[in-house]
Amino acid sequence: MAILVVGSVAFDAVETPSGRRDRCLGGAATYFALAASYLTQVRVIGVVGEDFGPDEERVFVRRKIDTRGIEHVPGKSFFWSGSYMKNLNEAQTLNTELNVFQSFSPKIPAEYQDTEYLFLANIDPVLQEDVRRKMPKVKMVCGDTMNYWIKDHAENLARVLKGLDVLLINDTEVRMLAKDNNLVLAARKVLDMGPKALVVKHGEYGATAFFCERSFAGEKGSITIPFRAPALPLAEVVDPTGAGDSFAGGFFGYIASQPTLTPAVFRRAMFYGSVMGSFAVERFGTERLQQLDPKEIEERFALFRQLSHLE
């Protein structure tokens, strides 16, 4: 089934110990869409400026991503620049120019109205809520957020969390959102805020899913047992930008591709998330995600199994 992502389509400038790029196509929605496109049909809602031309459009079209929801307006696209020179695990933001994103008001094309799977990438929770409300036929909603919204827009974020099936955030964010330093206690508190499941991304240590008792992915008799997916130990992380969004794309893309969401599907989705995250960081920007081979994806999935399974 088709999946819809709303979020940023942007240009990034990054420097990492492996080199630098002054302008690569980025943004959470771009990473998510490319990663998910290997698993299911993807639709995008976002806004770009006049600097988003045929070359950028082609990146989406080649992956058969539906871009009718990408609005083109006068001005420049969202621009972010960051450095990983000090710490590969955490970007140091050098510059953020919202540009056309500043007045972004998501519009849902008529052709998207039947979407059943919705991903709310990391944007203002007011916009996340707005999109959610405009999509009455959605049957599963996943979302992301970040420290900025957690700290300064808590009330708006709380309304979004109430309507989420799965919240995907990183380690630091879950502890910040719950105001608890213990991962398990923090996860319980976040699940009490609304989401039926919580996926915590630990960077190079993988990701953990926590389920609440009313969870759709709960197994009888073991509904509160979390699930851990490993990350691939990599000799070189070229550019960590977008790893989390790529994880989300692999995760939700796989779920949307399956007829029903069972605990086994949820677990495999966690692995597809890790697989896509591991590809994303192998090259700058979305370079690697633009040209994956389905066979490579299945081989890496098998590698993740070998990496973590007893037999």
- Minimum CB–partner distance for residue 215 and a copy of itself (Å): 15
Contact call for residue 184 and a copy of itself (CB under 8 A): yes
Contact call for residue 283 and a copy of itself (CB under 8 A): no
Which CB atom, from 14 or from 174, has the smaller least distance to a copy of itself?
Answer: 174
Segment contacting a copy of itself by CB under 8 A, of 45-53, 66-74, 203-211, 291-299: 203-211
- Minimum CB–partner distance for residue 94 and a copy of itself (Å): 21
Give how far Cα 1 sits from Cα of 117, 118, 221, Å. Answer: 8, 11, 30
Identify the H or E element spanning 302. Answer: helix 294-308
Contact call for residue 102 and a copy of itself (CB under 8 A): no
Which CB atom, from 157 or from 275, has the smaller least distance to a copy of itself?
Answer: 275
What does the per-residue mask of binding to a copy of itself show for 237-256, with x meaning CB under 8 A? x-------------------
Segment contacting a copy of itself by CB under 8 A, of 22-30, 128-136, 137-145, 299-307: 299-307
- Minimum CB–partner distance for residue 217 and a copy of itself (Å): 13
Q: Which long-range contacts (CB under 8 A, 24 or more apart) does 263-271 make?
A: 263/217, 263/218, 263/219, 265/217, 266/197, 266/209, 266/217, 266/227, 267/227, 267/229, 270/199, 270/207, 270/209, 270/227, 270/229, 271/229, 271/301, 271/304, 271/305
**Residues sharing a CB contact under 8 Å with residue 152, sequence separation 6 or more, in sequence order:** none
**Of 72, 76, 159, 202, which lies in the binding site for a copy of itself, with binding defined by CB under 8 A?**
202
What pairing do the DSSP bridges indicate for beta strands 227-229 and 207-211? antiparallel
Residue type, 159: R
Whose tokens are 């990054």? That residue is 14
Residues in binding contact with a copy of itself, number by CB under 8 A? 37
250: helix, strand or coil: helix
What does the per-residue mask of binding to a copy of itself show for 253-282, with x meaning CB under 8 A? -----------x--xx--x-----------
Segment contacting a copy of itself by CB under 8 A, of 108-116, 152-160, 246-254, 300-308: 300-308
Q: Which long-range contacts (CB under 8 A, 24 or more apart) does 124-129 make?
A: 124/149, 124/153, 124/156, 125/149, 125/153, 125/156, 125/157, 125/159, 125/160, 126/153, 126/156, 127/6, 128/6, 128/160, 129/156, 129/159, 129/160, 129/163
* DSSP label of 82: E
Contact call for residue 213 and a copy of itself (CB under 8 A): no
- Minimum CB–partner distance for residue 148 and a copy of itself (Å): 26
Contact call for residue 227 and a copy of itself (CB under 8 A): yes
Which CB atom, from 110 or from 310, has the smaller least distance to a copy of itself?
Answer: 310
Contact call for residue 306 and a copy of itself (CB under 8 A): yes
Residues contributing to the site for a copy of itself (CB under 8 A): 88, 181-185, 187-188, 202, 204-206, 208, 210, 222, 225-228, 230, 233-237, 264, 267-268, 271, 303, 305-311
